[in-house]
Amino acid sequence: MTRLVLLYRNRLAVAAAVLAPIVVAAVLVPFRGTFANTAAALTMVIVITAVAVIGPRLAGIVASASAALWFDFFLTSPYDRFAISHRPDLETTIAIFVVGVLVTELAARSRQHWQAANNSTAYVGMIHGVAVLAANSAPVTDLIDQTTTSLVQLLSLRACRFDRALSDPPLAQIQSNGDVELVGLRWPAREIGIPGPEAEIVAKWRGRVVGRFVVTPTPGATVTLEQRIVAVAVVDVAAAYLVGELHAM
């Protein structure tokens, strides 16, 4: 999912968080004399859950507050006022908000675990893709193309290329432990992305340097430590194959 689509989806979810509870509460108004308040409260929790599942944490919290507010206004006595005259109704209103926040947190954590699992699968696939080419003695150009494609996807790059010669002085480098070093200083890539206009990952195997992968980062695109470590692993797999093939050319 692209960032633009995700942004629109989140905005839509926040809008739904504001509007959906009032719409549902208004629909229940004709039945408030015969429809138990506990059942109405459960209906509001269902609305919160739907918003929490499709939207960010903020949307779920907004939906929880909105549901509690409009449950009070439309479905508790005195009606059509932000006031509650009965203790059970007050407890139910508070419960709607508290349960809504808890459901939102559970949905957010579940989404994070799902995303982490998907990312791990994709990372293994990138390493495997390069390893398969190396194991099958693919042409060097194919292996380099596969490596650069993986790095572009992994690090959200604008471009990537392979150079056999190292630069002097060196560019910002992504180290084997995932740290980004620029003129001897650690760069906060997780917060502000990889420094530009270019950076590099040195391709070496057992102490033998065969070149470098020069990356052109997207300004402002943050990169996690895990992504940087996987990027180095992809380059290491490529370097293990290139160390023999390039010196034989």
Let me know if residue 105 belongs to a domain: yes
How many residues would you count in the chain? 249
Closest CA to 49 of 93, 118, 96, 112: 96
Let me know if residue 170 belongs to a domain: yes
Identify the domain boundary among 82, 114, 146.
114
Let me know if residue 193 belongs to a domain: yes
Q: Using CA atoms, how far apart are residues 53 and 66, in angstroms rounded to an integer?
A: 16
Let me know if residue 120 belongs to a domain: no
With H, G, I as helix, E, B as strand and everything else as coil, classify residue 181: strand
Please report the pLDDT score of residue 38 as a whole number: 85
Do 148 and 213 meet the contact criterion of CB atoms below 8 Å apart? yes
Please report the pLDDT score of residue 32 as a whole number: 82
Identify the domain boundary among 114, 129, 156.
114
Q: What is the pLDDT of residues 188-207, one digit of tens each?
A: 888 888 888 999 999 988 88
Segment 117-133 shows an average pLDDT of 85
* 89 shares a domain with 152: no
Please report the pLDDT score of residue 102 as a whole number: 93
With H, G, I as helix, E, B as strand and everything else as coil, classify residue 184: coil
* 87 shares a domain with 48: yes
Let me know if residue 210 belongs to a domain: yes
Percentage of the residues of the chain whose pLDDT score is greater than 90: 39
2 pLDDT above the threshold of 70: no
* 161 shares a domain with 103: no
Token code pair at residue 115:
């995303």
Question: How many structural domains are present in the chain?
Answer: 2
Let me know if residue 173 belongs to a domain: yes
Range of the domain at 228: 137-248
* 24 shares a domain with 92: yes
63 pLDDT above the threshold of 90: yes
Do 211 and 246 meet the contact criterion of CB atoms below 8 Å apart? yes
* 152 shares a domain with 237: yes
Q: What is the pLDDT of residues 200-244, one digit of tens each?
A: 999 988 888 889 999 999 988 888 888 999 999 999 999 988 887
Q: Hey, which residues does 161 pair with through a beta bridge? A: 214
* 244 shares a domain with 147: yes
Please report the pLDDT score of residue 200 as a whole number: 92
Query: Residue 12: which residues within 8 A CB-CB, separation 6 or more?
Result: 55
Closest CA to 175 of 199, 154, 196: 199
Token code pair at residue 224:
């996690």
Percentage of the residues of the chain whose pLDDT score is greater than 70: 96
Q: Which residue do the tokens 């799902």 mark?
A: 114
Provide the angle, in degrees to the nearest 10, between the axes of the packed helices 140-155 and 225-248: 170
Please report the pLDDT score of residue 117 as a whole number: 78
* 168 shares a domain with 93: no
Let me know if residue 82 belongs to a domain: yes
Q: Does an H or E element contain 217, and which?
A: strand 208-217
Task: Supply the CATH number for residue 159's domain.
Answer: 3.30.450.40
Q: What angle do CA 139, 142, 147 make, to 5 degrees?
A: 130
* 165 shares a domain with 101: no
Identify the domain boundary among 72, 99, 114.
114
* 154 shares a domain with 97: no
Segment 175-186 shows an average pLDDT of 87
* 18 shares a domain with 104: yes
Closest CA to 224 of 180, 158, 172: 180
* 110 shares a domain with 28: yes
pTM of the predicted model as reported, rounded to 2 decimal places: 0.64
Segment 244-249 shows an average pLDDT of 57
Percent helix / strand / coil, the chain, rounded to 5: 65, 15, 25
* 184 shares a domain with 106: no
- Cβ-count burial 14-42 (b if 16+ within 10 Å, e if not): bebbeebbbebbeebeeebeeeebeebbe
Do 202 and 232 meet the contact criterion of CB atoms below 8 Å apart? no
65 pLDDT above the threshold of 90: yes
Let me know if residue 126 belongs to a domain: no
